[in-house]
A and B are shown apart, each in its own frame.
Chain A
Amino acid sequence: MIKKDLVIVGGGPAGMAAAICAYEQGVKDILLIERDQYLGGILNQCVHTGFGLDYFKQSLSGPEYAERFIAKIKTIPQIEISLQSFVVNLSSDKQLTYLKPGSLNQIQAKALIMATGCREKTREMINIPGTRPAGIFSAGLAQKLINIEGLLPGKKVIVVGSGDIGLIMARRFFLEGAEVKAVVEIQTKCQGLIRNQVQCIEDFNIPFFCSHKITKINGNKRVEKVSVVKVDGDFKPIKESQFDLECDTVLLAVGLIPENELIEMAGAKINKSTNAPVSEKLNKTTISGLFVCGNAYKVYDLVDTVCRDSETAGEQAAEYLKGIK
């Protein structure tokens, strides 16, 4: 079996920052595994600017931000990069199995950093009753369809959730010529940055309903309408307030969940409610020499913080490797 000092799973900003830092700390035998055809992770589909204000002292778009790390990592031959490589199995003694076109590979790592990012919460997780027609998207999927594929998912849109992702997508749809019928938020006020609240919805007069939730999705083939209701202080629906909004699209921006199924498989303890690793110190798991960083560790607001904390993971792994030599 092939052996590596350090294997990093996930080639988003977290994985790249950790790899570069580990190298700078003296680790010279590194494998970075990424499922996609390119590095950069979720940044590739975030074409809006505002990334890097802290880290690079500059406002960059997502792809520009990723490119800075990609350019750097490519100058370091000791970091081997394996793209289109999907890790399917992980054991407690840090053996990984990954598939790529043409081969199934098994590898033994001495230290391991998981930087697998997160997935979006689905309609099912927040339990919106109703039918299951076409036209229900997670914000990230809609973002990918618009920004990367040049496809417009819908023309009459309801956005559920007012975090930054929801707000940015509301604006994106508006600018693409779609009618954004409402942003619906169950909390009493907007969840995103004030800046985004102003620049993404108020400037475009997009109706904003806080203390409201969607109680039903209707439509057989494509979404036709949703029922919306006001909620009280305990998030209980106030029945009389219910009204319908016609739409062809429901966009869900209701939160992210760290992707930790692999470390769970390896036996690391997971917090059931957040899906983050049980951890007594930044990036640590209950298995020694197995670190988790970036959005897989916890859901971060800013990619700059992701990179700084992930650099720490690189240092921690280097430290751990020195210790076992």
Chain B
Amino acid sequence: MKIYDLIIIGAGVVGTAIARELSCYKLNIAVLEKEQELAFGVSKSNSGIIHPGTQNHPDSLKGKLCVQGNKLIRKIARQLGVDFKQIGELIVAFKQEDIPQLHELKAQAKKLGVRKIKIVNQTWLRKHEPNISPDAVAALYAPTAGIISPYRLTYDLAENAMANGVEIFTLQKVVTITSESHNDLGKSFLIKTLSTEFRARYIINAAGLSADEIANMVGISDFKIEPRKGEEFILDKKHKNLTKHLLFPLPEKNSKGILVIKTADGNTMIGPTAENCADKQDLSTTEEGLQKVLSSAQRMVPSINQTDIIAYFAGLRPVAGDDFIIRHELSVPSFITVAGIQSPGLTAAPAIAKMVGRILKDNGLALKRKWVFKALRKKTIHLFAIPFSKTAKLIKKDPAYGDIVCRCEMVSAKEIKDAINRGAKTLDGIKFRTRAQAGRCHGGFCTTRIMKILSKQTNTPLSEISKKGPGSWVVMEDRADD
């Protein structure tokens, strides 16, 4: 009977950050994920911003963890070979009478320890952000804000954790958790999934939108996850130099407002909305959402046009009250809750991981360092991110780099095969890892080619290739089989 020291439920950015953080210790760790691939929950559909810590209450846990996470992410990104770009954010005021609010935000941020913030005037804005609306009068400038690819961060955290011995199991939806006592081995949790069972001495509940359901399984019911939807709209890469910084309006009650975002992949993105939403599965976008985002974004950057939009999506923030809930459960010893990880959860993830480490230690788990911890990961190659001179050398070494599959985003057969070797099993998994199918034609040209590569590499019939896991089959029947 195998008993893991620790099982993490949920392989989003938070679960994988915890796994990686703890993989330097002598522990048997497993991660259980209900989807077929990692980062298919909230961690795939967000703004990809590493927030500096502004717009948070100075006493909030999320504010503190955000400021810490912003510092920690830099080293992690370097170690894992994930591109992190510090581009800075501007919280923009459009009316003279709103300027005092900028000063308030600045004071709040100072209390939280946000570094290098300052108020900039209209002249500064015109010079450093040329496409911004002429109506912008001033802004709070936070240079430590940055951007990262949220899914690539999650995949690379997971890959590095696995290189250090963590086991990750996908298609494992946790359905019940009970306590057991063993004569010789002491106490453990028995975790049943839809297909099998696992045992662990400690559990970390990092199940995002389902964190309340997991908590209910062990009798904790003092919080409820209430999803808050955010719709985002992505512009064609042609407009990648539209802005130089992340642009925010003054914050609204429930959100940071609608932003103009530079993404790590190069596209400009506008959004998100913030609407409470009853259904945890409702990832639909709406006409109203589009109109709201468009008009707010145009207020900041008037040249944005509806025809520039090439893609859109919605994400659900897992909200449980105003703040994160991160705690050891006294009523269920050795069970740690990491819930309500709404924005800025992506930013805070590395700090959450450290905090969880401390909680485990305080509650009896011995954290002894391994002799060898592989902190570094070889950077994944993306042709779209390197100069042609480098591409030429790569193609010489491996001809498959010259075999372009996705023409809109310039993704080679080699990159797709690498993604599959690193764990991609679905078309969306390949898309998030490589950007193939994410461009202006949306896979119109390359879907069949990618299906064939995936089918061959994973020995899966074409009719069993899915977009994002079982049930989302791309085609209904293979005629050639008959």
Contacts and interface: CB of A to CB of B under 8 A. Distances in A.
A294 to B, nearest CB: 16
A264 B283 contact: no
Contact of B475 (A127, A148, A153): A153
Contacts of A261: 238
A28 B473 CA distance: 50
Interface in B438-482: 440-445, 447-448, 462-463, 466-480
A120 B310 contact: no
Nearest to A156: B476
Interface in B414-449: 440-445, 447-448
Nearest to B290: A127
A130 B284 contact: yes
Interface string B14-33: 00000000000000000000
B395 interface: yes
Nearest to B426: A134
A178 to B, nearest CB: 8
Interface in B281-299: 281, 283-287, 289-290
A267 interface: no
A281 interface: no
A149 B402 contact: no
Given A99-B402, A154-B476, A104 B445 contact: no
Interface string A104-139: 100000000000000110111101011111100010
Interface in B145-164: none
Interface string A206-226: 000000000110101110000
Contacts of A102: 395-396, 399, 402
A307 B261 CA distance: 44
A122 B462 contact: no
A101 B403 contact: yes
Given A104-B395, A120-B441, A138-B444, A221 B287 contact: no
A130 B312 CA distance: 10
Given A127-B309, A148-B448, A222 B472 contact: yes
Contact of A86 (B407, B444, B472, B476): B407
Contacts of A176: 479
A151 B388 contact: no
A151 B479 CA distance: 6
Contacts of A221: 467-472
A279 interface: no
A248 B410 CA distance: 31
Interface string A235-264: 000000000000011000000000001001
Contacts of B238: 261, 264
Q: Interface size class for chain B?
A: 35 or more
Given A97-B388, A129-B286, A140-B444, A124 B410 contact: no
Contact of B313 (A132, A148, A218): A132
Given A120-B441, A124-B309, A150-B480, A99 B391 contact: yes
A218 B281 CA distance: 11
A57 B312 CA distance: 46
Interface string B294-319: 00000000000011011111000000
Contacts of A273: 307
B391 A104 contact: yes
Contacts of B445: 119, 141
B466 A134 contact: yes
B395 A99 contact: yes
B217 interface: no
B400, B447, B479 pick with most chain A CB within 10 angstroms: B479
Nearest to A144: B448
In order of increasing CB-CB distance, the 9 nearest A-B pairs are: A221-B471, A134-B467, A104-B392, A102-B399, A150-B480, A221-B472, A134-B472, A86-B404, A152-B477
Given A86-B407, A176-B479, 17 more contacts: A102-B395, A103-B395, A104-B395, A120-B441, A124-B309, A124-B310, A129-B285, A129-B286, A132-B283, A138-B441, A138-B444, A149-B480, A151-B479, A152-B477, A152-B479, A220-B281, A261-B238
6 contacts: A101-B399, A102-B402, A103-B395, A103-B396, A103-B399, A134-B468
Interface of B: 238, 281, 283-287, 289-290, 306-307, 309-313, 388, 391-392, 395-396, 399-404, 407, 410, 412, 440-445, 447-448, 462-463, 466-480
